[in-house]
Amino acid sequence: MELKKNPKADLTKNIGLYFVIGLSFVLFITFIAFEYKSYDDSGEYDISMNVDDDLDEEVPLTEQLKVPPPPPPPAAPEIIEVVEDEEDIEETVIESTESNEEEEVMEVDDVEVDDFDEDVDVPFAVIENVPVFPGCEGAGDKRACFNKMMQKHIRKNFRYPEISQEMGVQGRVSIMFVIQKDGSIGGIRMRGPDKNLEKEAARIIGKLPKMTPGKQRGRAVRVPFSIPINFKLQ
């Protein structure tokens, strides 16, 4: 014989609803427990912690800057002496340098300019009258004759230094000199690959004869001249 249950007596019918109600109740009790506060009913408390805000008291917002007072003015002299100006001062009159139509302008016929005598050097390439090498007095082109006689003089007096030959030294020596206003030779300077070659080039130039000096505007001037001398072993 099977047992029959009454549907109203089934306890599991609304178990979900009961669970939610019970959970809500427990949460409510827990919330009340956490929020519960108790106070001491005794009337004793520390009045030293009380702070009274006195709104009537004026509190300055900013403090004024303390600026030192200005120094006192210097004391006036006790006695003021008045000195009379007895000297007369002459006024300076500045005359105008501008000319008027009424003023007469003096005419200057000729202005003479004195030639100044400067000790200047005039290069051989631009001088008006080149120095005259001895033997070129009657030549039409004295400049070309000068160069020709210079080459002849170098070939005639050329001598290769023996020590330079033994050492195998050769090269070009650039030599510069000045034909003075009296036609003599001076200011010899040289630059080359060897001191012995430089000395030989200076010896050759030092044997140049005295020449007729070069002239610029009819006056004798110094004339610098440069020429290379080649030393080449055979």
Closest C-alpha to 175, from 144, 137, 208, 142: 208
By the 8 A CB rule, do 181 and 127 touch?
no
Q: Under 8 Å CB-to-CB from 198, ≥6 apart: which residues?
A: 173, 190, 191, 192
pLDDT of residue 209: 94
> The whole model's pTM is what?
0.49
C-alpha–C-alpha distance, residues 200 and 177, integer Å: 14
* Average pLDDT of the chain, as a whole number: 77
Average pLDDT (13-21) is 78
C-alpha–C-alpha distance, residues 170 and 175, integer Å: 15
pLDDT of residue 202: 95
Domain range summary for the chain, segments of one domain joined by +: 142-231
Residue 51 predicted with pLDDT over 50: no
C-alpha–C-alpha distance, residues 25 and 27, integer Å: 5
* Digit-coded pLDDT (tens) for 138-156: 888 999 999 999 999 999 9
By the 8 A CB rule, do 170 and 231 touch?
yes
Residue 179 predicted with pLDDT over 50: yes
Average pLDDT (219-233) is 93
Structure tokens of 97?
């340098």
Q: In sequence order, which ranges of the chain are alpha helices (DSSP H)?
A: 15-35, 142-157, 162-167, 195-206
What architecture does CATH give domain 142-231? Answer: 2-Layer Sandwich (3.30)
Closest C-alpha to 131, from 108, 150, 110: 150
Distances (CA, A) of 83 to 72, 75, 86, 87, 184: 29, 21, 9, 11, 79
Minimum mean pLDDT among 53-67, 75-89, 197-211: which range? 53-67
